[in-house]
Chains A and B, each alone.
Chain A
């Protein structure tokens, strides 16, 4: 299944946060959402997992407007990993993962073999099968994130929506989590802060700037020095990664764009 976002406008507390956004997450591809802080990435994703209602425009799931489906019905197709990390309520790892079955269950129904199957497989997929009875809040940050990802897997979705899933993870856990996503081959819509991670993992990128999608395409087409200067306000050059051949963005960490060599930047921005 695929996601098409058409003319999306989202307002939050009376302010337009996302304006007239168009975006595609193609079947089986990893689609990345990048952009500076406050550019509207999280807001846009929240309309896909129906935490926020669009003020205008549509989110289509393989052609069907999500709002024509009941919340539970659309949650069977779209699973989310928001930035929330839960609170201390004595939940075990298995209980957290089993929450992924919520959209499939009627009131009073207990878990059946299918549910247990999905939960066990999701735990195994993220390498937490042996930890199912641990208390969720006793886990490390990396383990927690993997459990929350397992909860999304247990939802058996056609589309995964992830908001900054690598935040607060050390580099090894970042790599592991992104490798897990690549291995899934589900339609995935993910926002990422790390442009180099986005460049190697995503099949397609959408760049958000001040609530609008300003560039879309393959990472190498999109992540240009000009865009770095214009959208992110930094000087950068793009080279080939010596190990993988992916685009590697080398930033100038000494000065933001525009403070040095103003003539070059003007050319780039123009």
Chain B
């Protein structure tokens, strides 16, 4: 995707400091992502040297017989899937955040605003509390229930938002927020009905987001959905740009606005559903990642989409390292760390931008 990035020219009478070229930036982020993935696999309760990490991965990928021992198990069965899940979910959240912000024409929008994650949460919590999932364990049963909840909510929001024609941004947000609140009322009720402390704990943990359920099987759907959605969005980057200026402007530029909105809403909802189903409702990443990237490379989606995906992936891999290693006795929910680190970072960036008077 980095190849399609448009080159930015700098210079002019009143340059603003968004002059970072997107190509080298994408390359740097890619290298950082590889390093972070390596660290994520190497670090943990048992430390494994990076060379051994890549050794295990190489032997597995080249079809050599894996060496017996715990390293192979830890690296290949536990940490690699988890690190890859973190990268995929982070990339997906970066993409879906960027897309939803264009969809509802608000740079502070969040995919969770459209109610989809509330539906997914209700599905997941119902599975845990009512025992619909596989014994309450984090697994495919739980993900399936979460995804079903997301799709049902999507259908509901769609039905409300399409009336009056055209999926107008405000209508979409209002429908999403209202339906989302309605569903999260149910979720809270179910949490209170949870049978025992263990159930309550796993529900809360899931609601705050976790990558602990990672395994190779769980990776399959996001590994397909995230790149496909990324390509789909990248192909419509100019249409997204046009939406930022307003529906009439976009129509004048030859965009079928209603159709683009309808498709965008569908793609972002399905992708949100996939992400929430495998990782819970991770807070703040989808809001912050596009926003930060926009401050650095500007608002053109042809650059913004790939950079948001890369930065989201990097961020979530790093955050998950923190979650796994910050405390000895237990893991932190991902959402706790994204909020605690993300909010001050965003405030700092905004403050710096306002301070520079641009």
**Cβ < 8 Å to A, chain B residues 1-31:** 4, 6-7, 9-16, 18-19
Q: Is the CB of A134 closer than 8 A to any CB of chain B?
A: yes
Q: Is the CB of A23 closer than 8 A to any CB of chain B?
A: no
**Cβ < 8 Å to B, chain A residues 229-270:** none
In the complex the two chains form, is B251's CB within 8 Å of A88's CB? no
Query: B224-243 interface mask toward A, CB cutoff 8 Å, 1 = contact, 0 = none?
Result: 00000000001110110110
Provide the residues of chain B in CB contact with A50, threshold 8 Å.
251-252
**Cβ < 8 Å to A, chain B residues 288-318:** 294-295, 298-300, 302
In the complex the two chains form, is A95's CB within 8 Å of B12's CB? no
Complex CA gap A107/B236 in Å reads: 6
Q: Is the CB of B255 closer than 8 A to any CB of chain A?
A: yes
Q: Which residues of B contact A (CB under 8 A)?
A: 4, 6-7, 9-16, 18-19, 101, 105-107, 164, 234-236, 238-239, 241-242, 244-249, 251-257, 294-295, 298-300, 302, 358
Q: Is the CB of A17 closer than 8 A to any CB of chain B?
A: no
Name the residue in B11, B106, B248 with the highest tally of chain A Cβ atoms < 10 Å from its Cβ: B248
Complex CA gap A135/B13 in Å reads: 12
Closest 6 CB pairs of A and B: A75-B254, A80-B252, A84-B246, A82-B248, A107-B235, A72-B254
Complex CA gap A87/B102 in Å reads: 10
In the complex the two chains form, is B298's CB within 8 Å of A90's CB? yes
Known pairs A107-B235, A134-B16; A71 contacts B246 (CB<8 A): no
Provide the residues of chain A in CB contact with B7, threshold 8 Å.
110
In the complex the two chains form, is B253's CB within 8 Å of A95's CB? no
In the complex the two chains form, is A82's CB within 8 Å of B12's CB? no
Complex CA gap A21/B295 in Å reads: 47
In the complex the two chains form, is A86's CB within 8 Å of B252's CB? no
Complex CA gap A13/B105 in Å reads: 23
In the complex the two chains form, is B254's CB within 8 Å of A133's CB? no
Nearest CB in chain B: distance from A216 CB, A: 25
In the complex the two chains form, is A84's CB within 8 Å of B248's CB? yes
Q: Is the CB of A73 closer than 8 A to any CB of chain B?
A: yes
In the complex the two chains form, is B6's CB within 8 Å of A89's CB? no
In the complex the two chains form, is B252's CB within 8 Å of A49's CB? yes
Nearest CB in chain A: distance from B230 CB, A: 12
Partner of A91, one of B6, B10, B299: B299
In the complex the two chains form, is A92's CB within 8 Å of B16's CB? yes
In the complex the two chains form, is B248's CB within 8 Å of A51's CB? yes
SS of B interface (majority): loop
Provide the residues of chain A in CB contact with B241, threshold 8 Å.
91, 95, 99, 102
Provide the residues of chain A in CB contact with B101, threshold 8 Å.
89
In the complex the two chains form, is B244's CB within 8 Å of A82's CB? no
In the complex the two chains form, is A155's CB within 8 Å of B253's CB? yes
In the complex the two chains form, is B10's CB within 8 Å of A133's CB? yes
Partner of B4, one of A46, A87, A108: A108
In the complex the two chains form, is B249's CB within 8 Å of A84's CB? yes
In the complex the two chains form, is A108's CB within 8 Å of B14's CB? no
Known pairs A90-B299, A92-B298, A102-B255; A130 contacts B246 (CB<8 A): no
A-B contact pairs, 21 of them (CB 8 A): A71-B256, A79-B252, A80-B252, A82-B249, A84-B245, A86-B246, A87-B106, A87-B107, A87-B244, A92-B16, A95-B241, A102-B241, A102-B254, A130-B14, A131-B14, A133-B11, A133-B16, A133-B19, A134-B13, A138-B16, A152-B252
Provide the residues of chain B in CB contact with A222, threshold 8 Å.
none
Nearest CB in chain B: distance from A67 CB, A: 12
Complex CA gap A169/B14 in Å reads: 23
Known pairs A75-B252, A82-B248; A102 contacts B12 (CB<8 A): no
**Cβ < 8 Å to B, chain A residues 53-104:** 70-76, 78-92, 94-96, 99-100, 102-103
Complex CA gap A88/B245 in Å reads: 9
Provide the residues of chain A in CB contact with B298, threshold 8 Å.
90-92, 95
Which chain A residue shows the least CB distance to B102? A89
Complex CA gap A78/B252 in Å reads: 8
Known pairs A84-B245, A87-B105; A99 contacts B253 (CB<8 A): yes
Provide the residues of chain B in CB contact with A76, threshold 8 Å.
254
Complex CA gap A83/B4 in Å reads: 32
Which chain A residue shows the least CB distance to B238? A102
Partner of B242, one of A90, A99, A130: A99
Provide the residues of chain B in CB contact with A105, threshold 8 Å.
238
Partner of A135, one of B234, B246, B254, B358: B358
Complex CA gap A135/B249 in Å reads: 19
Nearest CB in chain A: distance from B153 CB, A: 27
Name the residue in A88, A96, A102 with the highest tally of chain B Cβ atoms < 10 Å from its Cβ: A102
Name the residue in B107, B254, B256 with the highest tally of chain A Cβ atoms < 10 Å from its Cβ: B254
Which chain A residue shows the least CB distance to B6? A110
Provide the residues of chain B in CB contact with A195, threshold 8 Å.
none
